[in-house]
Structure 1
Amino acid sequence: MRPGPKNSITDVEGLRVGNAEDHRLKSGVSVVLCDQPAVAAVQVLGGAPGTRETDLLDPHNTVQTVDAVVLSGGSAYGLDAASGVQAGLREMGRGFAVGPLRIPIVPAAILFDLINGGDKDWGRYPHYRELGYQAVQAASEDFMTGTAGAGTGALTATFKGGLGTASTVMDNGITIGALVAVNALGSATIGDTRHFWAAPFEEGVEFGGLGMPQPFPQDARELRIKFRTGQRETQNTTIAVIATDAVLTKAEAKRLAISAHDGFSRALWPSHTPLDGDLVFALATGTNGKTVSVQDFIDLGAAAASTMARAIARGIHDATAAENDLLPAWSTRDSAT
C-alpha cells in the first residue's frame, strides 16, 4: 500500500472538495462533491452529534446515493450550509429525480466552534448557507488543508485543530481517501509533546516525521481534555468522510465507515466521548469498477482506519496561526518537544 498521487481524498476518482471560510468568524464549510451520485452511509459514535439527512443513509432506506456531503463549523447553525450546497447543485441540474423535479441529496454534519476567539455577532442569520454555496463553487481536486473550510476554527485539547486529508492505494489498485475536520475534546499529540499518536501509520514526513517520543512520556496516558476546568467543555466533535473508488453496496459502505472510526481511536486520546459528536460518512464512487470480497474488505477496512488516522494528524500539522487564537498551531510550538 502507498499514498495516492495527491495524498488526498480527491485521489478517489469522481470526488472534488470545496472549502469556504470566514476568518473573522473563525469558522467555515467543506463539501465533498460527487461528480456522479455515490453510494453513501454513515456511522455516528460520538455522544453529541449534529446532523442532517443521516437517517436516509441507513442501508434499509430507499435512497442509495448522494450528490455531496457537507462538513461544517457553527454547531447547529452550521446545518444551514447544506441548503447552500443544495442551491449550488440545483443550479447544476443535480439531484434525486422525483417526476420532473430533482432534489439534491446532501447529508451534513457539524462541529462546535462557537467559542474559539471568532466574532459570532453575525446579525439575524448566520453565514453558513452562503458559505455552503461558495464551497460548491470552489470544488476542485486541489484544496487547502489545516486552517481551512470546516477546520478553520477547530481546536483540540493541546493545539489548533484543522482540516486534514490522506489517501492510500491498495495493492489491488483500489484507492481509499479520507477528509476530516479535527475538533476533538481530546488530543492528537502524546502528552505535552508534538509527537502524534498516529505516528506508527505516517507515510514519509506527511505530518512532521517525528515518530514516537523517546523516551515515551510517563504521563502520556493521562487525559488531556479540552478546557477541563473551564466552562467550554462542549466545544468538540471530529467529523469525517472516508471514500473509495471500489464498488460497494450501502451495507458495505456502512461497514467501511465503522472501520474508519478505528482511525479516530488511533489518532485521538480520548475519542468518541459523550461530549464529541464523532461521525464518519462513507462514499463509494465505484469508478474503479472492482467489487470487494469479504477477504478483500478486511484489507479495505484496515486501510480506512490507517488513512483516517493519518488525515487527523495532517489536519493539526497543517493548521496555521491566526489572530485571536485560543491555542497555538502545531507548527509554532518549540520543535524540540
Structure 2
Amino acid sequence: MSQARNLITDVAGLRVGNAHDAAIGSGVTVALFDEPAVASCFSMGGAPATRETDLLDPDKMVPSIHGIVLSGGSAFGLDAASGVQAYLREHGIGFAVREALVPIVCQASSFDLLNGGNKDWGRYPPYRELGYQAAEQAGLDFALGTAGGGYGATTANLKGGLGSASATTSSGHTVGAIVIVNAVASVVIGNGPHFWAGALEEGDEFGGLGLPSLVSPELRSLIWKGGPQPATTIALVATDAVLTKAQAKRLAIASHAGLARALRFSHALFDGDTIFAAATGRKALGDEAVEFTEITALAADSLTRAIARGVYEAMALPYSGAQPAWRDRFARAGENK
C-alpha cells in the first residue's frame, strides 16, 4: 500500500472527480493532471468504446494529455469527454495551436445500458454535463463503489463499481490504479465470498478473507453474463515516474495482467477491456530497467486490488430486481473471518 488514501491520487500530480445520474443508473469518473502527462493505452477486449486513443501511440505527435475519462453509457457515454474539454478550456488549459486552445482528453466507456436505469434520456444523453460536473469535483479524495463511472457497473453475479488502490516501489516511486469494474465475468471464486484477487490484498481493503484453502474445478466453473451483451472493465494506471510515451505504452500493456488476475475471465469477445497508463513526471528513474520493471509489476498488482475494492465497496442500485452487492450477501463473512 502507498499512503493513507490507498487511491490513485497518492500519485502526485493528478486529481479525480465523480458524477452520476441515479435516474439513468450511470456516471462518469475523470482524472485531471496538474501538468500535462505522458500517456498511452492498450485495449485487449473485443468490444472497446474509446475516444482519442490513437494519439496515445508512441509515434503520434501529441506529447502529453490533460485528462482521462472513464464512463458508463457505452458509445453514448463518449460525450463525457466534451464536457471535460469544456471545463478545461474555461480554465485556460489545453494544447496551444497559435490562438487556438485544445484540451486533450482521452476516454474509454463501459456498457451499462441493461442495469435497470431509465435510458430514455431524450435526444441527447446526459454524459457531456456529467463529464463537466465530474471535472468540477476533481480532488484528492473520491468515493468508491457505486460512484462516478462505476455507478451503473455490474459483473456476472454481483454489483460492480469504481475501485482504486496504490503502492510504492522499493525505489520510492508511487503507482496507482483506478478502474470501472463492469465485467462480463466474475470477481469472486465460485459464488463467493472470496475474491480472485485475495492473494494480493493488503490489510482488509476488500474484506480480509484471503483465498479459500482449495479452489476446486467446480469453483473454477465459468460464470458470465452470457449472450451478446458487452461488458467492459476500463482502467487508468499512473505513476509519478518520468516515463517516455513508449514506456507508458508498455506500462499499459503490462497492467492487463491485473485484469487477468482479478477476473475469471477477462479479454473476451464481449469485453472492451482498455487500460490507460499515465506518468506525471515527478521523480526520475535511476536504474531505468529495474525501476521501470517494478513499476509495471506494482501497477498490475494495484489494478488487481482496485478491481476487488470496486466490488467490495459497491452498493446495490435502487431498482427492482437490481443485482445484489457483495456487502448484501457476504458482509458477515468479512465480520467473522
Name the TM-score class by shorter chain. Answer: over 0.9
- Count of paired positions: 332
Query: 1:285 matched to which residue of 2?
Result: 280
Describe the shift of the 1:292–1:60 C-alpha distance in structure 2 as closer, same or farther (beyond 3 A).
farther
In structure 1, distance between residues paired with 2:310 and 2:52: 26
Contact map agreement 2:156 2:183 (CA 8 A) in 1: yes
Letter in 1 for 2:42: Q
Letter in 1 for 2:283: N
TM-superposed deviation, 1:4: 2.4
In structure 1, distance between residues paired with 2:9 and 2:318: 30
**CA displacement 1:280-315 (0-9 Å, x = unmatched):** 000100012445611222211110111100000000
Contact map agreement 1:160 1:329 (CA 8 A) in 2: yes
- TM-score of the superposed pair, with normalisation by structure 1: 0.96
Matched, 1:294 2:289: yes
Greater mean deviation of Cα atoms: 135-144 or 317-326: 317-326
Describe the shift of the 1:292–1:80 C-alpha distance in structure 2 as closer, same or farther (beyond 3 A).
farther
Describe the shift of the 1:54–1:194 C-alpha distance in structure 2 as closer, same or farther (beyond 3 A).
same
Greater mean deviation of Cα atoms: 40-49 or 288-297: 288-297
Identity %: 56
**CA displacement 1:78-125 (0-9 Å, x = unmatched):** 000000000000001001010012100001110000110101111111
Greater mean deviation of Cα atoms: 30-39 or 281-290: 281-290
**CA displacement 1:54-79 (0-9 Å, x = unmatched):** 00000000001000000110010000
What are the equivalent positions in structure 2 for 1:119-268 lying under 5 Å apart? 119-226=118-225, 228=226, 233-268=228-263
Matched, 1:102 2:70: no
* Partner of residue 333 from structure 1, selected from 324, 329, 333: 329
**CA displacement 1:141-161 (0-9 Å, x = unmatched):** 000110001100000011000
Query: 1:315 matched to which residue of 2?
Result: 310
Per the alignment, in what secondary structure is the counterpart of residue 245 of structure 1? Answer: strand
Query: 2:110 matched to which residue of 1?
Result: 111
Letter in 2 for 1:242: V
In structure 2, distance between residues paired with 1:5 and 1:284: 21
Structure 2 residue ranges without an equivalent (≥5) = none
Letter in 2 for 1:274: L
Letter in 2 for 1:322: L
Contact map agreement 2:25 2:317 (CA 8 A) in 1: no
Per the alignment, in what secondary structure is the counterpart of residue 28 of structure 1? Answer: strand
Greater mean deviation of Cα atoms: 102-111 or 282-291: 282-291
Letter in 2 for 1:267: A
**CA displacement 1:143-187 (0-9 Å, x = unmatched):** 011000110000001100000000001111100010000001010
Per the alignment, in what secondary structure is the counterpart of residue 295 of structure 2? Answer: helix
Per the alignment, in what secondary structure is the counterpart of residue 212 of structure 2? Answer: coil
In structure 2, distance between residues paired with 1:291 and 1:34: 24
Greater mean deviation of Cα atoms: 207-216 or 280-289: 207-216
In structure 2, distance between residues paired with 1:310 and 1:283: 19
Query: 1:274 matched to which residue of 2?
Result: 269
TM-superposed deviation, 1:217: 4.0
In structure 1, distance between residues paired with 2:286 and 2:237: 17
In structure 2, distance between residues paired with 1:194 and 1:26: 25
Describe the shift of the 1:169–1:88 C-alpha distance in structure 2 as closer, same or farther (beyond 3 A).
same
- TM-score of the superposed pair, with normalisation by structure 2: 0.96
